[in-house]
Each structure stands twice: as structure tokens, then as C-alpha cells.
Structure 1
Amino acid sequence: FEYSRSHFSFWRKNKRDNGDGTFGVDLNRNFSVGYGKSSNTASNVYSGPEPFSEPETRAIKIFVDNKDNITIALDYHSQGNVFFPAHKFNHEHEINGTYINTLCANMNDAISKVTGRKYGIHRGKPPTKLISGSGREYYYSKGIIAAVVEVGTRNIPDFMQNMQESIDENIPALLLALGEARNYSQNAPSRVENFRPTSVLANEVTLSWDYPQNKDIYFEIYRNTENKEACIENNLVASTFNRSYKDIQLNSGIAYYYYIRAVDSLTHKKSPFAPQTKIKTSLELDEFSRTLFPNPKDVGYVAQKQIETNRRHFGVNSLFIGVNESKGICYGSLQFDLSSIPKGAIIKDVTISLYPLNRVNAKIEKYGEWAISFVDTESVSDITEFNQIHNAEIIQTIGHSIPSEQLTQGKWSHWKLNKLELSILHDQLDNGKVLFKISGPRSLPEGRDSQMMMFDLGYGRFGGGLHYRPNMELKYTLPPEEVVVNVEQLSTLKESQIIENTLTCGFDSNNKKVYGLMKFNLDQLPDPSKTVITEAYIQIKNKSATKTRLDIRYNLEFVDVESISYAAIQNRERIEFIGYEVSRADLQKNKTHKFIFDHYSRLALEDRHFKNEEAYFIIKPTTSDIKNHTVDWYGKDSKNSVKLVIRYIQRRKEATAPIKNPSYAIENGKIKLIWDNPKEKEYVGTYVVRNRFRPPTNPLDGDKIYAGPDNYTYDDFGSASIEKYYAIFSYDNVPNYSEPVIIHFQGDKK
């Protein structure tokens, strides 16, 4: 420590004499698991002549090997404000992965309560080279939950200003981890198995799981809307002894992350978390969604001191945003093609997301903010030119800027548009594109050399792959079309007679109800498989009003009738009430009445249209014990005739057929998946997802491998020796997803 403080702040080795004029071995490369032998003794990450060659690592090995009750191990390093969970040198999910991430997220929550700072959680992602010979992986190989905690933004921070703050925020987090240690012991309940979604709708999700019968065990279920977030009391949505749970009142088209653990009601010990379950709720029937990615030429950064090379910063490696001595001020240019969004679309929800790749060069605590702004495209002719981006006319900065202490390496950063910002984006639809400027701090305090954040582009040698590209997720609907359906048949039904072409309701002289019947033909609507009714109402006008002072009321029912007779109407099957009751006072005040269809009534109307059946409605009184009081309504042959007004959009309701003939092969050590796509003209593409533990049930239920129109893909980072499941979905332009077709990959065996 003294050497690094007084001579070289990035010195990370011990002081071993290597015998060739160099000194030191990096102790965090000297453990046996994943050990990589190196010969460059001068390197700052020299791993030593062999595993455990150093007395420090041998001492740790002896201690760990002789203790069978260690359940959690944390290595504290500097710098970066990030957790690095342990791994097994592949990019597959592991049974303990959710538990380690959740432990880190809960510690992160404890840190945030002290200073407001957010740490990243970054296991390493393809094609990142994972650290070899680390103590963290050695502990993990012994069945110990392990992570590295990188503390602070400088290797040797100012003690009074920064180090004390780091200590203060990490003590509660460390105490939380100590309290969690018993939940990973041999005496803790076993982990829940097969935690899965069994039903996913627009506003609700049903989850199920397997667990041996035990009257003392109940289950805690947590829900988040972002990955790698804490599982604490605030997001505990259920405690139940059951083996299933229905989560309701959710929002449509939103990703949700669910976590479960078993709890012993006697000892209060808890199991490790089961593997996380991810879902995305269905869209409402009138909604569409798109996830837009920038073309490589439309995303990159421009640097103040690299004017001649800025064009080469586009579509490759990383977005550098902020300021440092070598590059000067750096902005990001991010442009999306909007041509796939209809110009008249009504945009309901938009989120822009960037993946923070590395924050090591954001070295100054609590200094600067990172923001995304709408740019007037008329003010920029070349998005690769620094001065144009620097001087671009800003229309609006989106939402809240992210301060430096909340930049989280390894966790997506999101900017959600509010209503004003949605209207700005809507105005850009006519241009067919939208341009954003990503900005950070533009100056440095005296004596500091960098406050620079790196975001992933997804492209290039150092990019994390296409799944880590900046993206903009939109949810929208279309302006409705309207059709006015005139009534086809009107009837007044009394006990004694049926009077055609009139509409009267109330009570006759014998205190028997008089019903008014209306029939509509729905042939004016387009193809029922692509018609979504967004609004509907029946408009009728009364000719007369009841003279009684009694509070007589009238309502409208959507009914199912097999024949038109008084007895059939009395014994009718009601489908739904339409709108609200009309009172005596309403009849006297307003002679025009609109009975509004609710959600279920609209679905019933769509069902009639799909079955090519007429829609029947009756209007009737709700009060009893009244004689000789009726209300006459205008019929179908006048300008005030009964009307059914329907507003609708055209949108597919069903998915295309599933893919056929799925298979796999191993080519050059990679898993190749092959299938036949459906031949329907509405088919747009195929979506492939991988789940290590069970067959995926929905497109978010695992790791995305591919989306597009091809009939094959490679799993570039899936191990050919590890069992796993793939689900393949076809989709249309809504998108509606087909039922999954499952490939069970069994490692070396087909």
C-alpha cells in the first residue's frame, strides 16, 4: 500500500523479487482456477511462475480449504464503483448467478441509502476476456458465493474527501452480506425448482414453481422492472404457501423480472434465489411495438481534439462521452431511422437505453452529469463533425440527467420520455429520423485528467455484440377509422304483441315490462382477423319522457337471442351491460343518449364480427311496480335513427404459424440452429432465445440469440458442452409471437 501511495498508484503486485530485475506478482492472478501462465515478469498483471507461488495466496488457500462453513467471500479492490460477481469462465448462466447478482444488488441498495451512489454489477460479457487466476473464482469453485467489490473512482483516493465516504457506504452493505451468509448454509431451505411463467397477458402474469411439500415453508416473490435490481421489502409482491401466484395490474408491453426464494417459517432462514424469470407482458390489442437500433454509420462519438479521425469513431467499439486531456470534450451522436413507424402513429411510450461498458475513466467523485437531448436535424448536416454536434440546436433534454455517482457499469442506463418529449418525437416522424446528442461534463477541475464514460456500441472488436447496441423501444397505436352502422331491425316487444319498426320500452297497463330490440349487421367492418375495435357506442334519441315522478331508469343490454319473442327476451342470455342507466331526469334534460361500450363489450362485439353474426341489443326499464309508463325512441327511418358508431384500427390479432423442422449442429465448435420459416406473407422474422435451466416460454425468457428473417443462426457464446434449451418463435409486424418450438441441446449428444 505504501509503495503504491508514494511511488506508483496503479501498482497492484506484491514485492517479490523475480530475479531478473523486476519485482512483484499480481496476487489476483495467482490462484489456480483459470490460472494463465505468463512470462512477462515486468507486467503489472504478471501471474507468477505457478499457482499459489506466493505466500499471501497460499495462506488464503490454506484458510479456505480448512473451513467448511464459509458461504460468502467478498474481495474489496479499487477502483470503479462496481461489483464483479464470480463466474466459471463461460458466458452461460449458472445456477447461483441470480443469487450472486441479487446479493450484489441488495448491497448496492444499502450503499445508495448512505450516499446515493449506485454501483454497477458486471460479470463480464462476450467477448470480454474474463480474469484468470482470481481469488474470486477459487472461492466460487469451493461452493462459496463470491464477488469483487471495486470501491471508489481513484486507486489512491483522498482519505478525507473520498475514502471515508467509501468506507461509510460499504459498512452497511457488508453487514447485509454477513446477515445473508446463513441463507447459503447447509441448514438453509433448498432452492425452488422450475420457477416459470405459465401465463403472460397484457396486464397479468401467472407464475408457478416446484418444491417438496413442507407445511413450514412459504415463498417470497419479488418483482423488478430492471435487471440486477435489489430484492427488498419495497418490491416484495407476494408471500405465499402456494406453488403458484398471479401478479395483476401490470402494464402492457413491459419487461418484468421475477425472483423467488423459500423461507422456513420456524427458523426464518431463506433459500438461495432460484434462477430469475423474465417476461414481457403482451401488448394491448390496439398496440404495436418496435425496438429500433441505429445503423453503424449513425452512432459514434466526436472528440474535440481528434477532428481528423472522428468519422472513424462511428459504428465501432465504444461511445466515449465526457472529457479528458487526450480527447478533449466528447459527445455521442445517436440517430434512429423512423421509417418503420407510421407517420400518423400515436406514440404511447418510449425508452432510450445505453449500456455502460466501463467507468474507470470517470475518476472524479460526484462530478458531472450525462444526458440525452433531441437535436434539430436542420442544424446538423454531418453527425460525425465535432463542431456541428457541439453547436447543434437542442430541442429538449430528455428526462433527468444521470449524475456520475449513479453511472452503473454493467447495468443498462435508461431515459424514459415524458408526454412533452413524446410529442417532440411524434413531430420527427415526418422527417423519417430522429437525432440525439449524448453529453457529459465538458471541463475538468484543476489537476484532474479525466471524467469520461464509455458506453457500448455493440459493433467492432471491443463491442459486446449486437445485443448491447444503443436502442429505442417504442409502443404506439394508430389513429382509428370510424364506421357508422345504421340499425337493421327495430322491434317493440310486449307480452301481447311484437310491433316492428318501432322502439318503445317501459311498462304496460298490467305492469309487464316492454322491451325495445335493436339488431345491427357488422358487414361494414373489414377483415375480422385484423380489426380491433377501440371505441363503440350506440346513439339513440327519445321522442317522449315518462311523466311519473318515480325514479324510473332504463338500461341497454348486449344480448344473445336465438329467436325474437317475448318469452325469448325474458329468458335472454345477457352478454354485457352497455354504458350507464338513463334516468327520468336524463330523459327530460337531454334527448340524445350515448351508451358507451367497455372493454369486454368491445371484445364481445369483435366476437360477433368474427363469427359473422348480427349484434342484438335491448333497452328496458330497471324499476318495477309501475303501470302505463313507456318511453318512445326514434326509429330507423328518420334523421334521428338509432346508430352504432364503431372506431377501429387494423391490426393482426394472431401470430403467424410456428417454424418447422428445428435441428442443430456443431460447426467449428459453435452451436448452429436450423429451422424452416413459415410461408405466410405476414411473417416478418424469427426470434431465438436460450435458457440454461428449462424450456423458454416467451421471447424474454432467457438470452436473446437472434432476431431476423434467416432460417439459421449461431450461438456464438453458448458452450457446446453444456445442456440448455432454445425456443424459436416466429413473429409478424405487431409483433405477435407464435408458440415456441423447443430445441433441447444436450451437450455432446443429440
Structure 2
Amino acid sequence: MKNQYKSYQESLEYLQMMQLQYPNLIRLQKIGTTYEGRDIMLVTISKDVESADSKPAMLYTGTIHAREWIGHELALKFIEYAALNGDVDPILEKSLNESTLYMVPCLNPDGYEYSRKHFSFWRKNRRKNHDGTYGVDLNRNFSVGFKKISDTSSNVYGGEAPFSEAETYAIKEFVDAHPNITIAVDYHSQGNVFFPAHKFMHEAEIDGTDMNVICANMNDEIQKVTGRKYGIHRGKPPAHLISGSGREYYYSRGIIAFVAEVGTKNIPDYMKSMSSSVDENIPALKRTFSEVVNYSAKAPKRVDNFTVKSVAVNSVTLEWQYEEREDICFEIYRNVKDKDACNERTLVGVVSECCFTNSDLQSSTNYYYTIRVLNKKSGYKSPFAPIVKVRTKLDDDEFYKVVFASLSETGYVGELTQEQNRSHFGSNSLFVGVNKNSGICDAVVTFDLSTLPKNALIKSARFYIYPMNRVAAKIERYGEWNLSLLEEDSFSELTDFHEIENAKAKGVIGRAIRSEKLTQGIWNYWEFSRHECKLLQEKIDIQRVVFRLDGPKKLPAGEDSQMMQFDIGYGRFGGGIHYRPMLDVKYTVVEEQVALDTYTMATIDESGVKEGLSSGFDKNGEKVYGFMDFNLDALPDPEVTMITKCTLRIKNKNTLKGRSDIRFYVELVEVDEVGTYEDIKNREKIEFIGYEVAEKELNTH
């Protein structure tokens, strides 16, 4: 299997051949020398390559970690693709004409060769340290957030000082000398996840949306090829962020930067999974390369103050600020989940004004909007405005409630960890799937439903859970994860694996999530069907519902793990309330009709107040008012009641003689008592009720 991957020397010979065959497209240059004397080579790809450095550019780095061979292999395949399709593929041709791609296929040649020939899982370079150990983790040797540790044998030992290694110093010098670089992607394995750059205390970044969207657009291209979905995960502040990485250094230089972790193993079988990983990432890279110019000085500036102007039940109105120009328009994108693509699939409007109304939306639903500027003459686009999240309003008869998982009754149970299972509840993570150490593991997630009214009628529901890590889900396209609502009387102990594993499911919720769709860093959710909403509704009476989340139950021969890690939102390593499993429930209540009796009925004219209800004009042409008030004591508690419909029924006893253009209307008014004619004429009007009625529409039947 290893022989199917090119050696470093073979890749250099291949690149030299490509430079000879495509001299106007490809340029090969040495940017440094490794500890063991190997050349660190960079490839420049652009139409009219001699002018490449004058164009906006993307930087690609691969195999900074020795055992992560995908970066090296993908680079060689993309170079071949660009050479063969640069005059055929119109998107690629446009990108090569207006932009440049710098590629370092292998930033760690010494480590890569050691991994190939001696120890497959070697990670660092091959520097001999002062104490006789070998290697520095090059992706901990950059300056941003650098931390010096004393254990030189550690896989994450970052060296004596930032840029102490020839490899990191070489790429630093190149990046510093090329301010035309606008996007940088660093390819690693494993995990099928993108890691956008971050600031160490997670300050709000204006370009956070840009990094997420670029990764999400790559995700769309990947799904078209293999159906696989990558996660997008920026980590949680402050302890979970790596220090001294290349990604953060590039970002500190004003470059949009992210890591792509490919596959489920460091060195996958070439024919079984490496080839598909390469195939899916070529169009993804091409898509990102097409964005390079949109982050350069040639691009329009980003819109200012993109915000929500108004929200209704079925519509959202957005507004923003931008200078008046005839050569630009605005593209508005909408998603129903975070970290989704902004492309042709999600484009919902193109306008020239600084305002847009999106209609025909669902009530009480989360929507995510962003916007960018398009220069109609050049075709260049601006960076994206920060995402705006908005939830549409509830309909008149709707309510919603978000319920978080209960601390003490949420955890996981392992087949081979029965004695420790009780300690798995209420802190850190949920492990779901199977591995050799723990056997089968199921998650138990419990919700307290006491905040839902007993007469609630659930209209829709979603179960959300946040995937923290999928590194231990090592097998491509194997297994699926199911959510089941359990029968309360089919188990007695939440922390007992056998009871939970064998508990009776009242219903399986939504659709199973297959392994290739189970992402890290993007919320997963299960949507309840109408029948499943009824099952959940039945649990309101006992004010508690218990779910089981389970995955694959056995491992193929030769495999040791297919385990997914979800956040519980509690404990030292939990992400807090924002990462807890939750139920999002939209409901109405059983409708109740109440008839209210009139407290007072009177007729008021210039002569005074009379009993009975009349309205119209007197013989002098002065208005005659009918007055009614009602006793509201029969209404239920207003704190827990919403009036969804109110009808005023009045039956007339007579009609007017002759034809008339008189119209009758009802007002809700603010008066303490019937009062005088002048009081009624000068009444404080609150609202017209319904529509006015013409005399001819009245009848005595």
C-alpha cells in the first residue's frame, strides 16, 4: 500500500517534469533546506507564471506532520488537474488568469521519508534535539501562541523557540515576502473536518463568517463527489486551542486561513479511501481558489451594519449600509443551519437597494443570513458580512420552549465499563459507538418537561447535540447513529448498560445519521415527525423524557474503534450551556372556547343614557352610540393564556327604512364607565374591531 504513494524524491522528479511540460503555467523553486539536507520545494501555478507574484494568491501547504501523507498526494494530483484542465474548465481557467496558487506539497520532507521507510506514525521532523531525542512538531513551531515545553520526546514538542526549524522558517520567509497571499489552506489528516483560524481568546472577528463560508462551500463540493460531509470546528476558548500553528501565523498576517483534516486515518489504504479523498478535494480546492481575488485589493469592500430591520411570522426584513454606486449589487444568502454554504444553492436575493425582505418563511424558525457585494463590471465580490441569526415570530396560537438536558441524568454507558458508568453522568462528554476498550457505548439524554404546559399540543420538535470529535470514528462509511425515545417502564437504572441497551424504544426519532454525515463542530439534529411529536407529547404528563443515542454495535476485523464524541455542556471539558443537548419544541395548546356575558348594554345620545343597544343617527342627524362592556372574570389566567380568536356577535332587530349609506363599526375604547354623550364623543380609541358593516348587509334572521 505504501508503494502507491510517491516518495519525496519521486515527487520532485515529477514536479521537474511538469515544469518542463508546462513552462508558462508551472514554476518550481527551492525555499529552504531541511535538517537532513533535503530541498523544501514550492510550486507556483498561474497563467503567464512569470507575472504570478503580481496577482492575488492562495497558499497550499501539505504534510507538515510526517504521517499525514494526504497533503503531499493531493497537491501532486491538483497540479496535474490544473495542468490538464486549465484551458478546459472555465472556472479554473478564470482563476489561473487572475490569481496564483503557491503549493508546498510537503513541508516536512525528512519526517515524511522517515514515516515511509521506518515508523509510519512518526509525526515530527528529524532534528536531533540537545538531549538525544529526535524531532520538533513543526505545527507548534510558529510564533503565534508559541509555548515551550520541556518534554522533547512529546509528539507536540514545539522546539526551543519560534521558527527554530528550517521548514517553518522557510515558509515564514516566503509568506512575509508575498503580501499577495489572501487565502491559506494547510492539509492534514485525520477527522474529515475543517479548522478555521482563531484568536486565542475568541474575540469577535469580522472575517469569521468568511472562513466558515469558504469551508462550507468546499463541503458542498465534497458532498457532490462522495456524499461525505466535513465538520467545521474552531475550538472552544481558551484551553482547547493549539499553540504555535501555521494557521494562526498566516491569519495574523491578514490571510484567511484554515486547516483541512482529511480522512479517518493518518495513512489510509490508497485504493480504498485515499483516492476518494483526493477526488472529493480537487473540486473543493478549485472552489476556494476561485475566491482568492475576492479577498484582494481588487474586491469591493464589505457591507457595513448588516442587521435585521424587522421580523414577522413569515418574513424577515434586512438592511445594511453601503455607498451609492450603479456598478454594484448585493447578494443575500439564507440558511436554516449554521456553518452552511453560501453559493447558488442558498442565494435568495440579488438587489440594488440596501434593504431586502425575505418572505414565505416558516414561523418560529431559525434562519442565518449573510450578504456580499458584487461588482457587476469586474465580477469580483466582497468578503461576507458577519452572519445574522434571526428567529421568525410565533404564529398567534404558537409557543416555543428550549429545554436543556438534565445534568444528573445525562451521560453514557459502556458495555465493558459497568463499574465506571455512574461516573460518566453529568460531566464532559458522551461517547457513542464501539471500540475495543469500552465495547458498545450508548448515550442517555434526559429532559425535564415540567416547563411545558399539561395541555400542550406539540407541532414540531428537534433534538440537537454537538459533536466534539470524530477522530475515534476511524472507519469510512461504516455504521449509523440513531436516536430513540425510551419507554420509562422498560428500565430502572440509567447507568446500567444492559438495561439501557435492552430498553424498549417507544419510537426511533427522525432519520439515522450515517458515519459520513456525522460532522465535528456542526450541530447535529434529529427532526421529529408528526407521529414522533405525539410520542413526545405523551411524556408531558410524567414531566420527563429519556432518549438513547446509539451507534454501531460491532467492529469489522482489524479495526479498533468507531466511536463518536459529543459534548454534554457540563463539567471541566464541557463547552457550557451553549453546547448542551437540547430539545427545541414548538407547540400550541388545546383550544378552549369561553362565552362572555355583557356587563352593561346602553344607548347614548344627546338626551342621555338609555338601556338597550341601539346605534345610528337621531332625527337631528346626531350620532347615536351603542355601548357594551363585558365581565372578563370567566377568562383563564392571562399569564398562561393567549387569546387566538375573539368574535363579537350582535343581532339586529330592525333595518333602516329606505336606502342608506350608513355603515356600522365597532371600536375598543378606553373608558371607565358609560359616562355622558360628550365623554363618548371624546373617547380614547384603542383599535377598530374587524371590518365596518354596511346597512344592506344587516339582517334580522
Change (3 A) 1:616 1:184: closer
How many angstroms does 1:541 deviate by? Answer: 11
What is the aligned partner in structure 1 of residue 644 from structure 2?
534
Write out aligned runs for 1:59-208 (5 A).
59-208=170-319
Matched AA of 1:447: G
SS, match of residue 445 in structure 2: strand
What per-residue deviation string (whole Å, max 9, x for no partner) do you get for residues 308-336 of structure 1? Answer: 11000000110000000000000001111
Write out aligned runs for 1:57-456 (5 A).
57-456=168-567
What is the aligned partner in structure 2 of residue 25 from structure 1?
136
RMSD of aligned alpha carbons: 3.2
What is the aligned partner in structure 2 of residue 591 from structure 1?
none
How many angstroms does 1:89 deviate by? Answer: 1.3
Change (3 A) 1:571 1:528: farther
Q: Contact between 1:375 and 1:396, CA under 8 Å: does it hold in 2?
A: yes
What per-residue deviation string (whole Å, max 9, x for no partner) do you get for residues 524-562 of structure 1? Answer: 56389766433456789999xxxxxxxxxxxxxxxxxxx
Q: Contact between 1:519 and 1:615, CA under 8 Å: does it hold in 2?
A: no
Aligned residues: 556
Q: Contact between 1:128 and 1:464, CA under 8 Å: does it hold in 2?
A: no
1:35 aligns with 2:146: yes
Distance in 1 between residues matched to 2:273 and 2:171, nearest whole Å: 29
Q: Structure 1 length normalisation: TM-score?
A: 0.69
Change (3 A) 1:444 1:342: same
Q: Contact between 1:518 and 1:618, CA under 8 Å: does it hold in 2?
A: no
Distance in 2 between residues matched to 1:609 and 1:534, nearest whole Å: 25
SS, match of residue 58 in structure 1: helix
Write out aligned runs for 1:623-642 (5 A).
632-633=700-701
Distance in 2 between residues matched to 1:29 and 1:309, nearest whole Å: 35
How many angstroms does 1:19 deviate by? Answer: 3.9
Change (3 A) 1:631 1:210: closer
Distance in 1 between residues matched to 2:602 and 2:551, nearest whole Å: 69
Distance in 1 between residues matched to 2:657 and 2:216, nearest whole Å: 67
Structure holding more strand per residue: 1
SS, match of residue 168 in structure 2: helix
Distance in 1 between residues matched to 2:508 and 2:263, nearest whole Å: 29
Q: Contact between 1:519 and 1:616, CA under 8 Å: does it hold in 2?
A: no
SS, match of residue 447 in structure 2: strand
What is the aligned partner in structure 1 of residue 163 from structure 2?
52
What per-residue deviation string (whole Å, max 9, x for no partner) do you get for residues 130-172 of structure 1? Answer: 1111111111111111000000000110000100000000000
Distance in 1 between residues matched to 2:497 and 2:346, nearest whole Å: 44
Distance in 1 between residues matched to 2:148 and 2:335, nearest whole Å: 42
Change (3 A) 1:117 1:490: farther
For structure 1, the residue ranges without an aligned partner over 5 or more in a row are: 492-499, 504-516, 544-563, 576-607, 623-629, 634-750
SS, match of residue 384 in structure 1: coil
Change (3 A) 1:285 1:275: same
Matched AA of 1:272: P
What per-residue deviation string (whole Å, max 9, x for no partner) do you get for residues 377-420 of structure 1? Answer: 10111111111001100111111011011111011001111100
Matched AA of 1:406: K
Q: Contact between 2:458 and 2:587, CA under 8 Å: does it hold in 1?
A: yes
Q: Contact between 1:9 and 1:155, CA under 8 Å: does it hold in 2?
A: no
How many angstroms does 1:17 deviate by? Answer: 1.5
Q: Contact between 1:80 and 1:151, CA under 8 Å: does it hold in 2?
A: yes
Distance in 2 between residues matched to 1:362 and 1:158, nearest whole Å: 16
Distance in 1 between residues matched to 2:263 and 2:465, nearest whole Å: 22
How many angstroms does 1:120 deviate by? Answer: 0.5
For structure 2, the residue ranges without an aligned partner over 5 or more in a row are: 1-111, 604-611, 616-624, 668-682
How many angstroms does 1:228 deviate by? Answer: 0.4
Distance in 2 between residues matched to 1:428 and 1:391, nearest whole Å: 20
What per-residue deviation string (whole Å, max 9, x for no partner) do you get for residues 166-224 of structure 1? Answer: 00000000000000000000110001111111212222222111112222111111111
Distance in 1 between residues matched to 2:277 and 2:514, nearest whole Å: 17
Matched AA of 1:246: T
Q: Contact between 1:520 and 1:614, CA under 8 Å: does it hold in 2?
A: no
Change (3 A) 1:239 1:390: same
1:570 aligns with 2:662: yes
SS, match of residue 223 in structure 2: helix
Matched AA of 1:448: E
Matched AA of 1:347: I
SS, match of residue 152 in structure 1: coil
Matched AA of 2:365: I
Distance in 2 between residues matched to 1:298 and 1:81, nearest whole Å: 31
What per-residue deviation string (whole Å, max 9, x for no partner) do you get for residues 6-58 of structure 1? Answer: 54443211111114221111111111122111221111111111111111112
Q: Contact between 2:303 and 2:385, CA under 8 Å: does it hold in 1?
A: yes
SS, match of residue 25 in structure 1: coil
Matched AA of 1:50: A
Q: Contact between 1:346 and 1:479, CA under 8 Å: does it hold in 2?
A: yes
Distance in 1 between residues matched to 2:160 and 2:171, nearest whole Å: 18
How many angstroms does 1:486 deviate by? Answer: 7.4
Change (3 A) 1:566 1:611: farther
Change (3 A) 1:99 1:568: farther
1:14 aligns with 2:106: no
Distance in 1 between residues matched to 2:320 and 2:255, nearest whole Å: 25
Change (3 A) 1:368 1:632: same
Distance in 2 between residues matched to 1:151 and 1:614, nearest whole Å: 63
How many angstroms does 1:305 deviate by? Answer: 0.4
Change (3 A) 1:277 1:565: farther
Q: Contact between 1:528 and 1:609, CA under 8 Å: does it hold in 2?
A: no
How many angstroms does 1:295 deviate by? Answer: 2.0
Change (3 A) 1:424 1:528: closer
Q: Structure 2 length normalisation: TM-score?
A: 0.74
Distance in 2 between residues matched to 1:451 and 1:317, nearest whole Å: 19
Change (3 A) 1:616 1:364: closer
What per-residue deviation string (whole Å, max 9, x for no partner) do you get for residues 74-104 of structure 1? Answer: 0000000000001121222201101111111
How many angstroms does 1:572 deviate by? Answer: 5.2
Change (3 A) 1:391 1:167: same
Q: Contact between 1:81 and 1:153, CA under 8 Å: does it hold in 2?
A: yes
Change (3 A) 1:150 1:574: same
Change (3 A) 1:615 1:65: closer
Q: Contact between 1:362 and 1:451, CA under 8 Å: does it hold in 2?
A: yes
Distance in 1 between residues matched to 2:483 and 2:331, nearest whole Å: 38
What per-residue deviation string (whole Å, max 9, x for no partner) do you get for residues 615-655 of structure 1? Answer: 89747658xxxxxxx9751xxxxxxxxxxxxxxxxxxxxxx
Change (3 A) 1:612 1:411: closer
Change (3 A) 1:540 1:572: closer
Deviates more, 1:288-297 or 1:136-145: 288-297
Matched AA of 1:56: E
Q: Contact between 2:134 and 2:153, CA under 8 Å: does it hold in 1?
A: yes
